[in-house]
Amino acid sequence: MSWEPRYALCLSSEEFIKQSDKYGLSFESDFLDYLRGLSFKERRAFDMAMGYVFGKISDLDLSLPKSGLYVFLKASDKPLGRFYNEHRDRRALYPTAQTNNGESQTISLDRDSDALFDDGWYEPNMLPPVARWMNKTAKLIFSAPAVSRIEFDLTTHMPELGTRPLTLEVLLNGFRIGYLSIFQQGWVELSLAVPDELSISASDRFELELRADRTWQPRPGQDKTRDDRELSVAVCNIVATTASIAG
């Protein structure tokens, strides 16, 4: 059995504030003021940097201060290996080549580890169902044989849609395949045909792009319920239907 302190040094921005407010840990007041003033994107960048630093600490097997509120315990009836990264497998982080037999099939892109979401998307949320909110513009890159159809479900919580509809443009490899106005809240199922000539010229690489005409912030205040993300629509069940198309 072995153990190491956790969260004694590398914390998320939210965790720094929580440990100060709820547990009375002492941090510099100007540092806490800085964290409270970060936007959502700035907080995400801060958290990623903290995660990177902690990853390096793990790689180097450095010992953290014993002042953390939590410990990570490893126990086994067999000899333990390295405390960190003993079973790390990073293959799922990288795209791999897809194979297909030329027959029509569907690819669930929001469940496909090879699909790449850019920073226009936020982390998946349980609305329900599980969906990704997007900023004003978001892209999804995936590999597939010729695509005949793109389908997905979307919704928005944006206010005042009755007087000012939200417009959304859908592009595939830079070509518009859909354009719609959303004038009420609720889920919408969208199914968009992809022209044969677009699929033939894609060389198995597709870039799905969604462009909204505006965003809103659900709760931009500074209290504990703050949600200052810039949101337009939430999307889920993104499916590409492939087909064998003669060139």
Q: What CATH code is carried by the domain that includes residue 198? A: 2.60.120.260
Question: How confident is residue 117, by pLDDT bands cut at 50, 70 and 90?
Answer: very high
The more confidently predicted of residues 218 and 59 is 218
Final residue of a domain: which of 74, 106, 137?
74
Same structural domain for residues 142 and 216?
yes
What is the DSSP secondary-structure string of 207-236?
Answer: EEEEEES--B-SB-SSSTT-B---B--EEE
The more confidently predicted of residues 163 and 111 is 163
In a domain, 212, yes or no: yes
Name the nearest CA neighbour of 188 among 152, 160, 213, 214.
152
* Number of domains, the chain: 2
Residue 190 to residue 101: CA distance in whole angstroms: 27
Per-residue confidence (pLDDT) for residue 97, from 0 to 100: 40
Q: Write the CA distances from 137 to 57, 159, 179, integer angstroms.
A: 35, 19, 14
In a domain, 63, yes or no: yes
Same structural domain for residues 108 and 181?
yes
Per-residue confidence (pLDDT) for residue 91, from 0 to 100: 58
In a domain, 90, yes or no: no
Same structural domain for residues 173 and 238?
yes
The answer to whether residue 245 scores a pLDDT higher than 70 is no
Per-residue confidence (pLDDT) for residue 90, from 0 to 100: 61
In a domain, 81, yes or no: no
Provide the mean pLDDT of the chain: 85
pTM: 0.65
In a domain, 80, yes or no: no
The answer to whether residue 95 scores a pLDDT higher than 60 is no
Same structural domain for residues 175 and 126?
yes
Residue 166 to residue 208: CA distance in whole angstroms: 19
Rg value, the chain, Cα = 23
Same structural domain for residues 176 and 140?
yes
Same structural domain for residues 117 and 222?
yes
Same structural domain for residues 132 and 216?
yes
Question: How confident is residue 247, by pLDDT bands cut at 50, 70 and 90?
Answer: very low
What is the DSSP secondary-structure string of 131-199?
Answer: EEEB-SEEEEEEE-S-EEEEEEEEE---S-TTTSPEEEEEEETTEEEEEEEE-S-S-EEEEEE--HHHH
In a domain, 87, yes or no: no
Same structural domain for residues 112 and 196?
yes
Domain range for residue 188? 95-242
Same structural domain for residues 132 and 180?
yes
In a domain, 79, yes or no: no
Per-residue confidence (pLDDT) for residue 96, from 0 to 100: 46
The more confidently predicted of residues 220 and 118 is 118
Same structural domain for residues 214 and 149?
yes
Neighbours of 82 (CB within 10 A): 12
The answer to whether residue 244 scores a pLDDT higher than 70 is no
Question: How confident is residue 92, by pLDDT bands cut at 50, 70 and 90?
Answer: low
Same structural domain for residues 122 and 201?
yes
Mean pLDDT (whole number) for 146-164: 94
